[in-house]
Structure 1
Amino acid sequence: MMAVAALGMLPTVLIAYPYASRFSLPAQVAAHLLLPVAAAVFKLGYVVRLAAHHKLGNYSAG
């Protein structure tokens, strides 16, 4: 989940910022809107990872 979110964040950042002039305005808006969504999925994946470590008894993970 974290890897997919991180891979999803990369194109959104590239479209929204350094290569914005090469993309249409709707594509830039979509990239700006998807960036916090990808970040939220990444954070959710991290919480799931921590919960799995806790369930396995590894309380020092993090």
Structure 2
Amino acid sequence: MLRNAFEPWHLLVIIAVLVLLFGAKKMPDMARGLGRSMRILKSEAKALKDEQPTEASSR
């Protein structure tokens, strides 16, 4: 039923709506901020993973 629910033209519509809402000048800043946030999230998740002891080593 939802086999092809997300197609490439959906991305074009989403991008067009974002450009209309926020303007083309703010889009690079928003993308840069999103990239920074993703890098921080990735590094924090890796730090948490490295910090937690495994079940086998605690026994």
Query: Could you tell me the TM-score, scaled by structure 1's length?
Result: 0.49
RCO (CA 8 Å, sep 6+): is it higher in 1 or 2?
A: 1
SS of the residue corresponding to residue 26 of structure 1 reads coil
Cα displacement (A) at 1:59: 5.5
Cα displacement (A) at 1:26: 2.5
The verdict on how the C-alpha distance between 1:34 and 1:28 changes in structure 2, with shifts beyond 3 A counting, is same
Q: C-alpha separation between the residues in 2 aligned to 1:59 and 1:40? A: 28
The verdict on how the C-alpha distance between 1:21 and 1:50 changes in structure 2, with shifts beyond 3 A counting, is same
1:21 aligns with 2:17: no
The verdict on how the C-alpha distance between 1:40 and 1:19 changes in structure 2, with shifts beyond 3 A counting, is same
The verdict on how the C-alpha distance between 1:43 and 1:20 changes in structure 2, with shifts beyond 3 A counting, is same
Q: Percent identity?
A: 7
Which structure has the larger Rg over C-alpha atoms?
Answer: 2
RMSD: 2.2
SS of the residue corresponding to residue 19 of structure 1 reads helix
Equivalenced residue count is 41
Determine which structure has the larger helix proportion and give its number: 1
Q: Which runs of 5+ in 1 are unaligned?
A: 1-16
